[in-house]
Structure 1
Amino acid sequence: MNTIHDMGGMDGFGPIDPEENEPVFHHRWEGRVYALMRAVGPWGRGREWPPFRFTLETIPPVEYLSLSYYERWFRMMTTRLLVSGLISETELETGYPDPGAPRPEMLPGSNSGALGAGLLDRDVSARFGPNDQVRARNLHPRGHTRQPRYVRGRAGTVVEDHGVYALQDTDEDGRRPRDRRPQHVYSVRFEARELWGERASAGDSVYVDLWEDYLEPA
């Protein structure tokens, strides 16, 4: 993914002003969006919903930058509902039931064979270990990836092995073709100057959790 949706490590967006005693939600509608996300979740069972982050990354860059955090969530949620046929365009526009649309039904969960996002109890050999010198591969996928753009091609040191997880990357259609190849996830330390050059502090480091497929020996 090479679009504005991967903003990690970028600058030029102005200062970060922490808000003292910041509320959980700044507006009441934000809490409603969060509640709606939880409420519609079970309706995704048995349906081909595009993954959460992939759907966010399909928002055109100009629109993405103009939307607030929970506006993006709302866009993602309504996209899922439209794609799966749970709501119609008319219902989204008016806020009222569409008499011409079929009544939505809750479906049973499907056995897709997906391994999920949690830690897996799998006996998989680890390619790397603590203190190994590695380099993040210079990958340019067209779909979603968990590899931050700013570490591509940069060298680091493996600090910890978090265990085995299913790779969460998608292709450009939102599918996870490599989901069924579980692999180790490592915490890798990158020196700040390796990432951002001499303007970074010589004493700073960044720790990034990376799937094994993202790494190669340095």
Structure 2
Amino acid sequence: MDSIADMGGTHAWGPAQVPTDEPPFAEPWEGRSFAITVLTMGRISGRNLDAFRHALGRLHPVDYLVDGYYGRWLNAAELMLTDSHILAPGAVDARARRNLGEDVTEPAFPEPDRPDYKPTAAGSLREVEQAPAFAVGGAVRTKDMHPEGPTKLPAYVRRRSGTVTAIRPAHVLPDTHAVFEGENAQHVYTVGFASTELWGPDAEPFTLHIDLFESYLEPQ
């Protein structure tokens, strides 16, 4: 699934604005949004960190861009609660309108449908029995992937050729873990891509390194 969250390598966004002396939370509501989202993940909604990232990717593009960083967190928390049937669709909007004095009937709360949550304190690194399919120095090409569900393969690096520069520890595959279709742990590789391979011959010359899952790659 290609989402608004996959903005890396795209054009026309302008330079990144980096505030100086930025506090952890610029306003009190941001801290509350952070706390609500952390509490929502896990035992309340039954969702994991990868499901949270998937929720961010499913937000409406306008909301994603306009509501800011912690606004996105709050929207994703609401979406996770809706996914788990803790909240009915539209319940938060209806409550807000009712608090403003509108005559609104709040939707009934559905029957909860929480996944079987397991604590993630052990981390996401795993051991896999099969040997790595690629070796350091090997030429690889990223696949042309457009799955219906989430993927951590950035759009701008698909169908591009690179070189494996390191083999990393095996890791839970976020693509399936986010939608509760298994951990599917696999090897992870650091792949170096020439800037000209990614952005054409006029790009400033440098090598971009990206960590990619084995299932994203094929031999060159």
Structure-1-length-normalised TM-score: 0.80
Note the C-alpha offset of 1:211: 0.5
Note the C-alpha offset of 1:99: 10
Q: Does the Cα contact within 8 Å between 2:192 and 2:209 map onto a contact in 1?
A: yes
State the number of aligned residues.
208
- The corresponding residue for 2:150 is 144
Note the C-alpha offset of 1:206: 1.0
Within-5 A mapping of 1:65-214: 65-88=65-88, 89-90=90-91, 93-94=94-95, 110=116, 118-170=124-176, 175-177=179-181, 179-202=182-205, 204-214=206-216
Note the C-alpha offset of 1:8: 0.6
- The corresponding residue for 2:102 is none
- Matched letter for residue 175 of structure 1: V
- Matched letter for residue 168 of structure 2: H
Range that drifts further, 152-161 or 117-126: 117-126
Note the C-alpha offset of 1:176: 4.6
Cα deviations by residue, 1:11-36 (Å, 9 ceiling, x for unpaired): 21122222222221222111110011
- The corresponding residue for 2:101 is none
Match of 1:169, SS state, is helix
For structure 2, the 5+ residue unaligned runs are 99-104
Distance 1:100 1:5 in 2: 29
- Matched letter for residue 73 of structure 1: W
Note the C-alpha offset of 1:91: 5.7
Aligned in 2, Cα 1:148/1:72: closer, same or farther, shift over 3 Å?
Answer: same
Distance 1:137 1:94 in 2: 45
Q: Does the Cα contact within 8 Å between 2:157 and 2:198 map onto a contact in 1?
A: yes
Distance 2:16 2:213 in 1: 30
- The corresponding residue for 1:216 is 218
- Matched letter for residue 68 of structure 1: G
Note the C-alpha offset of 1:199: 2.5
Distance 2:190 2:134 in 1: 11
Q: Percent identical across equivalent pairs?
A: 33
Cα deviations by residue, 1:90-144 (Å, 9 ceiling, x for unpaired): 4663369x99967x99x8x8378x9x96111232221001111111111111221
Q: Does the Cα contact within 8 Å between 1:183 and 1:212 map onto a contact in 2?
A: yes
Q: Give yes or no for the alignment of 1:7 onto 2:11.
A: no
Task: State the superposition RMSD in angstroms.
Answer: 3.4
- Matched letter for residue 72 of structure 1: R
Aligned in 2, Cα 1:167/1:65: closer, same or farther, shift over 3 Å?
Answer: same
Aligned in 2, Cα 1:99/1:68: closer, same or farther, shift over 3 Å?
Answer: closer
Q: Does the Cα contact within 8 Å between 2:162 and 2:194 map onto a contact in 1?
A: yes
